[in-house]
Structure 1
Amino acid sequence: MELDSEDEASCLLAADALYRLGRLEETHKALLVALSRRPQAAPVLARLALLQLRRGFCYDANQLVKKLVQSGDTACLQPTLDVFCHEDRQLLQGHCHARALAILRARPGGADGRAHTKEAIAYLSLAIFAAGSQASESLLARARCYGFLGQKKTAMFDFNAVLRAEPENVQALCGRALVHLALDQLQVPPHSPPGPGQTGGGPRELPLPQGEREPGGRPEQQDAHQNLCSHPHLYCGSWEPGPHKPSFWESCPFVLPACLHG
């Protein structure tokens, strides 16, 4: 078959065939030719990033992933990832997830913090694309990022995605419960002080909102109440930011790994 060397689709088809044959050097050369014609082409950037990770050139891969994130074009990712083997997709998933966590660790306050969070979401989205059905950690991290930005309903989608794959995932169950409560603008009381004869404080029973104690209350609120009471050691803090008080999304310990709260 004769391919048009000036056509990007033809160049990508040839590069994909070479990759499948294990001819990585030739694949790299073909992709560089395609990139020279359109430097911001997301399908080319994605393929080159995966290839450079496979070849062990992590710095080059990071620069390519950064350009891919900045392009904002994710429509090409699924067909691109379908070409690559599972091991190479895992490399991309691990790289993007680690990069997102590094961004979040270094996140400043204020408007810059929101910009860093949006950048982390872009990396986590790439990790989720690459991981397919094995993306729980990235989904939980992205849910927390959406919550930090005030996009609680979008956070709910990620918690639900985790629960479809892992119905008993405690972090996702509690995260979804807290989002339900936050969307209803409910205040959950803090840990109670020690009572008579007690040596330490304990979590108070988390009340349902007024009018929801009787049968017939909304199932999502009752589920939220049940999940939080089942795992009181995961509950922390208030819902809304205030003076000297972190928001729920800042303080919640179960959505991102503990290393981000050290």
Structure 2
Amino acid sequence: MRVRLLAEEGAAETPIALNELDRELPGDWRVTWYRGVLALATGQADEAVSLFDACLSMLPGETAPKLALAFALECAGKPAASWYDVVWRTDRSYVSAAFGLARSGRMSVLDEVPATSVYRVAAQVALAASVVRRPDVAALRPSDLVAAAERVAGQTALDPRRRDLLTAEVLGGALTWLETSPPPKDLRLADAPFTEQGLRRRLESLFRRLAVAAESRQERHALIDRANAVRPRTWL
């Protein structure tokens, strides 16, 4: 446990502690594992790849070394999706593998995170956010934005403030989309008409609601400024 904590912190004395442990437990896979942890903690991703690969050779039937190797490969800027895929197909309790696949571009895999998982909400939030955080928002379909808003609204376990912020992000993405496309007919987004006026009114109301519950004066003023900036133009 001591070596584990030292390795996770990347402490300077970790190599000495690891060598002592290696002498006490020769051939123990945990020594190699914690050397890999230390390599990751100190930014030596290539070294971590070699160490976790060695761990996998020592424990060929175990899932954890495969996941560790995948993460080390990702940190080293090398292809890791195949290892994440092996882990995810083997055991759906390793949700980190699903997020690893999502980072490699397979966002849809997050929908496979079991409803019983504590990471289900995080997976759904990541899916919704990915829609409007992509660089080519203009290439989206209106239905993509509506689905993202509905996904956020459906997360009853999500903190209300976080839900409002995410909904505001989706609405902001929809406004960006409207800059290059005409409003879709008879479509609503987050309880608002999918028009510039409708989305701006909804965004304004969200920012003002968030401002009421702001934790600081600076945050409240910033949210009010955002509400004023997005407010639809009127004659009044």
| TM-score calculated relative to the size of structure 1 | 0.38
More helix by share: 2
| TM-score calculated relative to the size of structure 2 | 0.42
